[in-house]
Amino acid sequence: MSRYEIRLAGQLDSRWSEWFEGLTLITDADGFTTLTGPVIDQAALHGLIRRVSDLGVPLISVNILHDHAAASDATHLSREENTT
């Protein structure tokens, strides 16, 4: 499961969090909303993007959030496996 950040033009209040499958909603003073949280797979991601489209809210960006600690651990484990 990956974590994503989805930026929208417009301010959605916290009531929309449930509609967006429990993602965290943050609105800023510049008139944007950021949805952040885990997305189980590509089908779920496409579903979220479709919901944004259904609202008529402009989609600004979709970014995957990388956990640098997890990536470092995975690299470390990979190196250990290669030395045994």
C-alpha 13/C-alpha 55 separation (Å) is 13
24, two tokens: 């965290």
Share of the chain residues as helix, strand and coil, in percent rounded to the nearest 5: 40, 30, 25
CATH number at residue 23: 3.30.70
Per-residue pLDDT, 73? 45
C-alpha 45/C-alpha 5 separation (Å) is 11
Per-residue pLDDT, 68? 58
Residue numbers in the chain where pLDDT is lower than 50: 69-84
For residue 54, what are the domain limits?
2-83
The answer to pTM > 0.85 is no
Provide the number of structural domains found in the chain: 1
The three-class DSSP label of residue 62 is: strand
Per-residue pLDDT, 71? 47
